[in-house]
Amino acid sequence: MKDCSQETLGLRIRRLRLEKGMTQGELADRFVTISMISQVESGKSIPSVELIQHLAQRLQISMHELMSDKVDQMESSWQHQLAKAYLLAQLAAEAETIFNRLLASEDRSQAQQIELMIDLAESLYLQKKNDQALQLLRPLLAKLEQVRYEVQMLRRIHYVMGNVFYQIQKLQHAYYHYRRAYDLSLSYPNFDELAARISYQIGITLQLQDDHPEAARYLERAYQFYSCTDNWFLLASVLFAQGVAHKGLQEHQQARDLMIQALNLFQAADQVEQAYLVRRTIAFAITTQESPHSAIQELLACLRFAQQNDLHSFSAGVFAEIAEIQIQEGNLADARSSLASAQQIIWENDLLSTQEAAKCYKIDAQLQLLVQNYSAALENASKSLNIFTTNGSQAERVESLQIAHKAFQEQFDRPEADAGAIE
């Protein structure tokens, strides 16, 4: 094996390019020229973080693989920029290591130290180390608000804290911090990308609280920004969320149109999993009302994709949605079979505390109500309510509570029903 311990970054790029059988011309594209590649490989030019990220993508390797054992040789400001690029590339653990190393050094201004702490908290959030992120940000926020520190830093802290609380489904806390971040954004002369991201997060948080009119308003602000950029993924995400909001407003045709736009963008950006999520949502939320048979056929296509790619939670959710349509159509035997498939996936893949498990419990409770097995209906509705309380929307909680209430009433009024439950 070749010893690469003394290999420069330029030589490493050259070696990886040759190992893949690529010429400099084949590595070049609209972003990077042959001359730039030659300068980097020969050591005559130091590449920017953006260029390194682009070359890693062209070489089909991770940034971390390209930069391993080179970070310590960089200036601290360069290391910071690299760690930020790691965050964008979802390499949060690698970013955390660099942020901690930089925070341990003493040659930092107060502003640099604060920025590093916020960046570190974001890397922790991306790794779902939510308690650690909050332990870092809470005292920092209290200190900076007391002295009325620079608005940009305060805005970022509130945004990251909102993300943490959204991730753990403490929606009121998430909404509070997103709104504080949004209000701080209003002090800027221009509506920038962070303001658009904040608007999007407020929108999807309000959706989970079933405030669809307000959700649509904030999502429209995000749409106005991203429709003028070339970030197709975020534009598609906003369009999808807008579709969900208009579905909540019972504006079905507009919801369908928005979701189809999102679907087309996700497909154009080769975001296959997101595209199938949109297809699944259109089928279950909209097509069901027009043609239950067509909805089931579309959901089965989504199910095949999920099974081929080992997307277990996705598969369980699709089975549950098929079961709900089958119950509505009176096909109780088929619904039992679909629910059994969903429940098997949930048990085998330790998904018992997920929204998909809650959805299965709720739909099974509906089925048990229909066959007059009220004790089982009450038990399953209670299980779904417990999960939805910490990991679901207000509408889902209300629906589970209504099923539980009805099951309790029927069990009290007709104690003999359970014994004669329809099989």
SS3 351: coil
Q: Domain boundary at 20, 45, 73, which?
A: 73
Which residues have C-beta within 8 Å of that of residue 323, sequence separation ≥ 6? 334, 335, 336, 338, 339, 342, 363, 367
Least confident of 9-13, 150-154, 210-214, 356-360: 9-13
Asked, for residue 178, whether it belongs to a domain, the answer is no
What the block records as the tokens of 220 is: 């429209």
Asked, for residue 83, whether it belongs to a domain, the answer is no
What the block records as the tokens of 161 is: 């804290």
Least confident of 16-20, 95-99, 242-246: 16-20
Q: Domain boundary at 51, 73, 95, which?
A: 73
Task: Report the pLDDT averaged over residues 136-154.
Answer: 91
Helix and strand counts by DSSP (H, E) for the chain = 23, 0
What tens digit of pLDDT does each residue of 303-320 get? 999 999 999 999 999 999
Asked, for residue 112, whether it belongs to a domain, the answer is no
- Report the candidate in 423, 416, 386 with the shortest Cα–Cα distance to residue 404: 386
Asked, for residue 349, whether it belongs to a domain, the answer is yes
Is residue 212 pLDDT above 60, yes or no? yes
Higher local confidence (pLDDT), 422 or 134:
134
Domain that holds residue 23: 1-73
Asked, for residue 423, whether it belongs to a domain, the answer is yes
The CATH number that applies at residue 18 is: 1.10.260.40
| Domain count within the chain | 2
The chain-wide mean pLDDT, for the chain, equals 88
Q: How confident is the model at residue 46 (pLDDT cuts 50, 70, 90)?
A: low
Task: Write phi, then psi, for 230 (nearest 5 degrees).
Answer: -105, 20
What the block records as the tokens of 368 is: 């048990």
pLDDT at residue 1 in the model:
42
What the block records as the tokens of 265 is: 């963008």
What tens digit of pLDDT does each residue of 99-115 get? 998 898 877 788 889 99
How many angstroms separate the first and last alpha carbons of the chain? Answer: 66
Asked, for residue 190, whether it belongs to a domain, the answer is no
Amino acid symbol at 239: L
What the block records as the tokens of 342 is: 């969903």
Amino acid symbol at 76: S
- What percent of the chain clears pLDDT 70, i.e. is strictly above it? 93
Is residue 150 pLDDT above 70, yes or no? yes
SS3 70: coil
- What percent of the chain clears pLDDT 90, i.e. is strictly above it? 61
Q: Domain boundary at 73, 106, 125, which?
A: 73
Q: How confident is the model at residue 3 (pLDDT cuts 50, 70, 90)?
A: very low
Task: Report the pLDDT averaged over residues 367-393.
Answer: 89
pLDDT at residue 70 in the model:
56
State the Cα–Cα distance between residues 83 and 91, nearest whole angstrom.
9
Asked, for residue 371, whether it belongs to a domain, the answer is yes
